[in-house]
């Protein structure tokens, strides 16, 4: 056999052996190896490789000790990308699929934060605001003594103010069109559902003006008593006093 041909066969054999060894090494990767590689990619900010590794753990090692970790970091990756709807879905999966995981607490808070971040101004649709409120309520009910519970309470107050403002905007619209009864419905919603909001006093005073116009004097007196009991730092007291003086 000519020497060049023997050299070619030797190189070909070495190549085959190298490929086989590489394939065998890949097959022998453990879940610990996959996790270590994926977590390093995450820590380095390499979202694509990290996501790929986390997905491998979820699909190939669903019963491993890293399954809930992988699900949580998948949620974190989508959150960091600003994909908040997908992030909320991924965070929710932790509570449903791994209820005893250490990641349930931060995942529940992050679920609320996802909806919070995509909630719209008061003059727009408030579906995500309501979802955020519910998610914050779920979190506080389960982790009321947690360090993030206070922040959840602050965010809840802001979301409730937004829903109250939504009712105020609609009430103002109806007042401009002289639809006082329709306006009253939304003012009542503020008074009854969001008495802790910053829109309470304005809603009460406008409702008083409507009752005065409708000559519902007893209802007006009842509302004045509520106003003095519920509004702790009145800014429109002079307006209320003026309305009361005009009642027969």
Q: How confident is the model at residue 15 (pLDDT cuts 50, 70, 90)?
A: low
Return the domain boundaries, the chain.
30-100
Q: What number is the average pLDDT over the span 52-69?
A: 96
**pTM for this model (two decimals):** 0.83
Token couple for 226: 């509520």
Contact 35, 69 (CB under 8 A): yes
Q: How confident is the model at residue 145 (pLDDT cuts 50, 70, 90)?
A: confident
User: Could you give the CA distance from residue 85 to residue 47 in angstroms, rounded to a whole number?
Assistant: 18
Per-residue confidence (pLDDT) for residue 208, from 0 to 100: 98
Q: What number is the average pLDDT over the span 159-179?
A: 98
CATH classification code of 30-100: 1.25.40.10
User: Could you give the CA distance from residue 25 to residue 22 in angstroms, rounded to a whole number?
Assistant: 5
SS3 of 62, please?
coil
For tokens 């206070």, the residue is 150
Q: Which stretch of 27-36, 104-113, 163-172 has the lowest confidence by average pLDDT?
A: 27-36
Q: What number is the average pLDDT over the span 144-171?
A: 95
Instruction: List, for residues 175-231, the tens digit of each pLDDT value.
Output: 999 999 999 999 999 999 999 999 999 999 999 999 999 999 999 999 999 999 999
Q: How confident is the model at residue 13 (pLDDT cuts 50, 70, 90)?
A: very low
Q: Cα 27 to chain center, whole Å?
A: 40
Residues 6+ apart with CB under 8 A from 15: none
Q: Cα 20 to chain center, whole Å?
A: 49
Q: What are the helix (H) ranges across 98-199?
A: 104-117, 127-142, 149-176, 180-193
Token couple for 188: 């009542």
Q: How confident is the model at residue 27 (pLDDT cuts 50, 70, 90)?
A: low
User: How far are the Cα atoms of 137, 160, 165 from residue 131, in angstroms, in the given order?
Assistant: 10, 12, 17
User: Could you give the CA distance from residue 132 to residue 112 in angstroms, rounded to a whole number?
Assistant: 5
Is residue 19's pLDDT more than 80?
no
Contact 117, 84 (CB under 8 A): yes
Q: How many residues make up the chain in this entry?
A: 248
């Amino acid at each position: 056999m000519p020497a060049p041909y023997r050299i070619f066969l030797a190189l070909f054999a070495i190549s085959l052996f190298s490929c086989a060894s590489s394939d065998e090494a890949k097959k022998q990767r453990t879940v610990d190896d996959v996790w270590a590689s994926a977590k390093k990619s995450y820590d380095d900010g390499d979202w694509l490789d990290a996501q790929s590794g986390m997905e491998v753990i979820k699909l190939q090692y669903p019963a491993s000790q890293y399954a809930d970790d992988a699900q949580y970091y998948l949620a974190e990756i989508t959150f960091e990308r600003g994909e908040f709807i997908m992030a909320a879905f991924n965070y929710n999966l932790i509570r449903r699929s791994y209820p005893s995981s250490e990641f349930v607490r931060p995942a529940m808070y992050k679920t609320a934060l996802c909806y919070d971040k995509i909630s719209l101004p008061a003059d727009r649709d408030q579906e995500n605001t309501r979802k955020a409120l519910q998610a914050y309520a779920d979190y506080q009910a389960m982790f009321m003594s947690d360090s993030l519970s206070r922040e959840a309470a602050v965010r809840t107050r802001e979301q409730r103010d937004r829903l109250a403002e939504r009712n105020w905007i609609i009430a103002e619209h109806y007042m401009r069109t002289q639809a006082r009864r329709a306006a009253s419905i939304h003012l009542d919603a503020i008074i009854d559902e969001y008495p802790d909001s910053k829109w309470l006093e304005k809603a009460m005073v406008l409702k008083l003006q409507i009752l005065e116009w409708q000559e519902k004097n007893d209802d007006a007196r009842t509302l004045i008593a509520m106003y003095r009991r519920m509004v702790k730092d009145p800014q429109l007291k002079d307006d209320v006093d003026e309305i009361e003086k005009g009642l027969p």
